[in-house]
A = this chain, B = another copy of it.
Amino acid sequence: MTDPTNIDGAVAEQAAAPDIAALSRAELLRALNRPETGASLVDEIIIKVGTDIIEGRLKPGDDLNSVELSKLFRTSRTPVREALLTLQREGFVEIEAHRRPRVAGLSLSEVQDMYRVRAYLYEMVSHCVVAAASEEDLDRLEEVQARLQQAADCDDVDRYFWTNVEFRNTEAGLAQNTTLVRVLDSLGLRMLRLRHLSLSLPGRLATSVEDHDRLIRAYRDRDAKLAAAFSASLVMRGLRTIERSSWVGIGS
């Protein structure tokens, strides 16, 4: 582990903590499978609209008028259209022909389905990680875990959230199966809204950190079955939280 936080809190935090905006931006682009050197115009729009949806500033059913968006971003409608199409493919936006695009809704049963599939897939990830990851790989995972702990200590939900995304993606990367990563990405994107909501509920961060700890220990012990079980239960706990919350699915 790294040194404890006996230094001045504010300074240590700023030094150890990369910019959230940059982090979220990078994770989003990676998940969208976008080349780093891409045309920034479309990417800007995707990121702005996408994070607005994920973090709840845009709600299901909200209109996404392409003319207005183009005014907002000082571009023509072409890049806006492309961005909306990409967001549609990821399930953030619904587009019907000749109708205004809207922020997509999610029914509760859809949400449950998504979590089940995700849990199932993460069991596979865990099996692969145990089979393929070196000790150094696990060190990398633990480093992310340390930052997770920090964020939890500060009760910084947004930071925790995006670092958590990083953790899960690192884990998936260790599985050495690009297809698995890609599938999880496309699924994960759809779920980002929910995961954000789930982590926003009080007391959730502490238990989440604990779960991650146990998961890493299982990896260290090379116990595939245990790791898979923890991994799946970590996902399903998110679902339980949402089910208990006041979440109501919003019409598809």
Q: Does A97 contact B (CB under 8 A)?
A: yes
Interface hit among A11-19, A154-162, A172-180, A205-213? A172-180
Give Cα A120–Cα B123 distance, bound, in whole angstroms.
10
1/0 per residue A46-87: CB within 8 Å of B? Answer: 000000000000000000000000000000001001100110
Give Cα A219–Cα B124 distance, bound, in whole angstroms.
24
The answer to whether residues A37 and B97 also contact, given A89-B86, A110-B178 and a CB cut-off of 8 A, is: yes
Give Cα A39–Cα B99 distance, bound, in whole angstroms.
12
Chain B positions within 8 Å of A33 at CB level: 89
Chain B positions within 8 Å of A108 at CB level: none
Q: Would you call A180 and B97 a contact (CB within 8 A)? A: no
Chain B positions within 8 Å of A116 at CB level: 177, 179-180
Q: Does A226 contact B (CB under 8 A)?
A: no
The answer to whether residues A110 and B179 also contact, given A85-B82, A86-B89 and a CB cut-off of 8 A, is: yes
Give Cα A37–Cα B95 distance, bound, in whole angstroms.
12
Q: Would you call A97 and B38 a contact (CB within 8 A)? A: yes
Chain B positions within 8 Å of A38 at CB level: 97
Give Cα A86–Cα B97 distance, bound, in whole angstroms.
16
**Looking at the complex, which one of B35, B85, B96 makes contact with A97 (CB distance below 8 Å)?**
B35
Q: Does A29 contact B (CB under 8 A)?
A: no
Give the size category of A's interface with B: 20 to 34
Q: A37-B97, A186-B186 are in contact. List 17 more A-B contacts (CB 8 A).
A: A33-B89, A35-B96, A38-B97, A81-B82, A82-B82, A85-B85, A85-B86, A86-B89, A110-B178, A116-B179, A116-B180, A117-B177, A117-B179, A120-B121, A179-B190, A183-B183, A183-B186
Chain B positions within 8 Å of A85 at CB level: 82, 85-86
Q: Would you call A113 and B187 a contact (CB within 8 A)? A: no
Q: Can you name the residue of chain B whose Cβ is closest to the Cβ of A113?
A: B179
Give Cα A117–Cα B172 distance, bound, in whole angstroms.
13
Q: Would you call A179 and B97 a contact (CB within 8 A)? A: no
Q: State the Cβ distance, A229 to closest chain B Cβ, in Å.
A: 16
Q: Does A114 contact B (CB under 8 A)?
A: yes
Q: Can you name the residue of chain B whose Cβ is closest to the Cβ of A38?
A: B97
Q: Would you call A178 and B35 a contact (CB within 8 A)? A: no
The answer to whether residues A39 and B177 also contact, given A89-B89, A117-B183, A124-B120 and a CB cut-off of 8 A, is: no
